[in-house]
Amino acid sequence: MGTGTSINHGLDMVFSNTKPADATPEAISGELQDGIAIVGLPFDGGSSYHPGSRFAPNVIREAGRQVFSHPVWPFGFDPKMVQTVVDTGDVLYPYWKPQTFPACVREHVDHWMGSKMRVLAFGGDHSVTVPMIQSFLDCNPGGKLLVLDAHCDVADFDPGDINHGSVLSELLADGALQDTDLIHVGMRTGARSDLPAASHVFSMDEIDQDHCSIERLAAKIKEIAGRAPLYISLDLDVFDPAFAPGVSTYATGGLTSRAGLDLLRGLAGCNLRAMDIVELCPPRDPGGVTASLAAMLGAYFMCISSKHFNQMSRTDER
């Protein structure tokens, strides 16, 4: 089973018992650069309703302990054993200057985003995605963005605003993200016309959650994404509150956890470069149900984007 270089130091709070970031990408030489860099984004200054997502990164790390106690179903392997996985820790910022957070994200993330490593980030409220995507697009011009979210996040904004409700309006206004490069899944608030007509929208009422339909949806997304570098921004409120009660803003009528996991698995083979999982609000998460889902989604990303899995799948196809 591969030669993973993950190390359990057993001291720090890290996702998947992996090595804390005592190494920069430059220091991780050769093939080892192909792996996962994990980043925590403990910020909820952009939340409109229920704060608390600043506590999410470590809660997801903790939930990961159980997820990684077995090979990840249905992949049958432990993703930290087949590739380098480095938990780079949390983005730090002076809490009394919340407006500095986006720049602090760039400072922490840019060199990982520009390396061969894939980036897996745990929010934070959805506003943390803005500097993440800007970093991604700077490193991957022509990259595409897949957003899974109940909301379309197109609120009006003034320069310098930090608002989890204006993620897409900011990115589209910035010019780095083209509307044709935006794929949006799970919308069920606002109006379809809130998003640019040229973007690819699969609203919740258009998604049939049986297995074959999710497979077809994944195939459509893969067709749109092609070989372009892909960033997935996963707002946990895309799931129905029955499956993900620990989010800050509820929107009834969302994905089941099964459908969401199947959809993510269906995206194997895309040129996956990064994913964020945002809006987990631990203070309203009974029993850690949503944290557990977030950790599993992270583990899925680590599996489907690994060289190991993609080589295995190619062999199966022969």
Q: Residues within the annotated binding site?
A: 126, 149, 151, 153, 235, 237
Encoded one letter per residue, x for contact with Mn ion by CB under 5 A and - for no contact, window 223-262 reads ------------x-x-------------------------
Give the three-class secondary structure for 203: coil
Q: From the CB of 80, what's the least distance to Mn ion, in Å?
A: 29
Q: How far is the CB of 20 from Mn ion (least distance, A)?
A: 30
User: Nearer to Mn ion by C-beta: 21 or 147?
Assistant: 147
Kindly tell me which residue out of 19, 108, 151, 200 binds Mn ion, with binding defined by CB under 5 A.
Answer: 151
**Beta partners for 274?**
119, 231
Can you say how many angstroms the Cα of residue 29 is from the centroid of all Cα atoms in its chain? Answer: 26
For position 44 contacting Mn ion by CB under 5 A, the verdict is no
> Beta strand pairing status for 118-122 and 271-278?
parallel
Nearer to Mn ion, 150 or 177 (CB): 150
DSSP SS3 for 202: strand
Residue type, 297: L
Give the DSSP per-residue string, 88-135. EEEPP--TT-GGGHHHHHHHHHHHHHTSSSEEEEE-SSGGGHHHHHHH
Q: Give min distance, CB of 249 to Mn ion, in A.
A: 6
149 binds Mn ion (CB under 5 A): yes
Q: Which CB atom, from 170 or from 237, has the smaller least distance to Mn ion?
A: 237
Distance CA 172, CA 250 (A): 25
**Given the complex with Mn ion, which of 129 and 134 has the nearer CB atom?**
129
- Within 8 A by CB and 6+ apart from 3, the residues are none
b (16+ CB within 10 A) / e for 46-68: bbeebebbbbbbbbbbbbbeebb
Least distance (Å) between residue 238 CB and Mn ion? 7
* 50 vs 216 by CB, closer to Mn ion: 50
| Nearer to Mn ion (CB atom), residue 2 or residue 283 | 283
Task: Say how many residues make up the chain.
Answer: 318
CA 151 to chain centre: 16
* Structural contact between residues 83 and 306, judged by C-beta atoms closer than 8 angstroms: yes
Whose CA is closest to 116, among 144, 83, 147? 83
Give the pair of three-digit tokens for residue 63.
């939930």
Q: How many residues at the interface with Mn ion, by CB under 5 A?
A: 5
Closest separation in Å from C-beta 152 to Mn ion: 9
Quote the least distance from Cβ 235 to Mn ion, whole Å: 4
Of 36 and 238, the one with the shorter C-beta distance to Mn ion is 238
Print the binding letters for residues 106-145 with Mn ion: x by CB under 5 A, - otherwise. ----------------------------------------
How buried is 293 (Cβ within 10 angstroms: 0-12 exposed, 13-18 middle, 19+ buried)? buried
Rg (CA), the chain: 18
- Quote the least distance from Cβ 145 to Mn ion, whole Å: 15
Q: What residues line the site for Mn ion (CB under 5 A)?
A: 149-151, 235, 237
